[in-house]
Chains A and B, each alone.
Chain A
């Protein structure tokens, strides 16, 4: 939701039509390789870009799928409204209470991200399955019947649309954005007026545990304690708010946090499920993070675990028993906060001048 990166898949309809043979220069038409003798730092400059991806939205399909699969596993049939509220929570764990109240009551300034989150799920899958768009659309419509897929592009945030338009307009000129966007986090988190923004803090600051991650210098024990208390608070709110929309939003937020804690790009767990490593947005490669955010495809065992634990969490929330949330986040004694080899972010310099085969 924060940073914008560029990869080489089409994003919206304009790109798709243009890529099939109009003026837009795409990677299919123009391919340079390091083997031709270009220095690697020139590689990305020559490589055109036709797809824009939005960091932070890439994991939304994953969260919606895990949450709804957990509900299915429990045999809970949500109404369309409940499912939509639950999905909002699944996709938006960063919302402050004020926004949450606004959404739940139908008043206030509802963040555009609220519904675009679900729409982005569609956009991403459409992009990935561009060879058979209708089939993809039908599949998604079948799975999430409450989505209106006809206007999904309209739900993209202005920034995403702007970048998409730039990509369409200038083609390869935005190629260098494909880098690691390392600079985004530090810049945003130091910008007056933004550094206290909740979404910034939940990604690059002291609230990163909302996504199962840690900011540099935080101890694993503190992060785990914070996660447990945050999830417990959400479940308590779920119980307190009864059967209304806000309750399902908060349940979805709790499931999002639990799912993140099973996602290899966020947390490493050992064979027994104990947490070994919290990773750091500020130091981590966006490519690595994004890859594993698609749990079902790239870490199916972790996906299964996330669904099973989420079902257990929902059972705990809907039952009347004690909220023993700690069982979902056991901590190994040697747990740490850091970054795994090969997944470090590039620096600003590297971001600009590193090609796709020029390292991570």
Chain B
């Protein structure tokens, strides 16, 4: 009993030491990382990615500060777009990381959020505006603390840049139907279950077939997705970071 108490105390002490260490190491401990995100063609807003609650976003938008609070277990937002004067966020939910969690939290899926005043509220995937279903938060070197997945290697060794695919939205590109945007579109439109993409789940799972280009062609023709100009994030100058 007492030994547990000592261990708890030592954990707390260690945590305090680590916290001090972390704070000391951070380059900009007050504000965290800050980047301009392209939320509409050629329209950029500064977004702060705080260090410690690192799945939340603080966005300066139309003169207001809008905060996205990430629900527990949801990954870093991968899309922040504007539609009809409101901001929308897409984040991937991988909270069910373990066998027993999968039943509790459901499959890995996209979670959709709509601006509600100075915050965000969750909306069903079926209500998410399809024309802004894009992945536009590609942080340099990947999300902080994660390995980037921006680049992959093609059939014959060619380097595939996912950002190029987002920028061009060229459904005739050899690799488009097998890229993350196509997977996102399918999950929002047909089956918001990651098993549909990777081939897992029950036998009757409705699955995406990347070899059939008709889905991405029809999606693009029907919803006319927004075409962004750069997609890449740009650092916000230090003087503009405090908001």
Contact = CB atoms under 8 A, between A and B. Distances in A.
B27 interface: no
A158 to B, nearest CB: 26
B153 interface: yes
A221 B155 contact: yes
A333 interface: yes
Nearest to B205: A301
Interface residues of B, number: 65
A3 to B, nearest CB: 15
Given A7-B98, A39-B53, A357-B73, A302 B108 contact: no
B237 to A, nearest CB: 26
Interface stretch (A14-22, A95-103, A199-207, A342-350): A342-350
A214 interface: yes
A147 interface: no
A5 B120 CA distance: 36
A217 B53 contact: no
Interface residues of A, number: 71
A40 B203 contact: no
B94 A360 contact: yes
Contacts of A354: 145
Given A217-B153, A342-B94, A336 B160 contact: yes
Given A42-B15, A270-B210, A336 B178 contact: yes
A346 B178 contact: no
B174 A359 contact: no
22 contacts: A7-B98, A171-B7, A268-B197, A268-B198, A269-B199, A272-B209, A276-B211, A291-B102, A301-B201, A301-B202, A302-B200, A332-B178, A334-B177, A336-B152, A340-B183, A341-B183, A344-B147, A344-B149, A346-B145, A350-B146, A353-B18, A356-B101
9 closest residue pairs by CB, A with B = A338-B152, A219-B157, A350-B145, A299-B200, A264-B198, A271-B209, A357-B73, A337-B153, A357-B72
Interface of A: 7-8, 25, 33-35, 39-42, 45-46, 128, 171-173, 182, 214, 216-222, 264-265, 268-272, 274, 276-277, 283, 287, 291-292, 294, 298-302, 304, 331-342, 344-347, 349-350, 353-354, 356-360
Interface of B: 4, 7, 11, 14-15, 18-19, 22, 52-55, 72-76, 78, 92, 94-95, 97-99, 101-102, 108, 135, 142-143, 145-149, 151-158, 160, 174-175, 177-178, 180, 183, 194-195, 197-203, 205, 207, 209-212
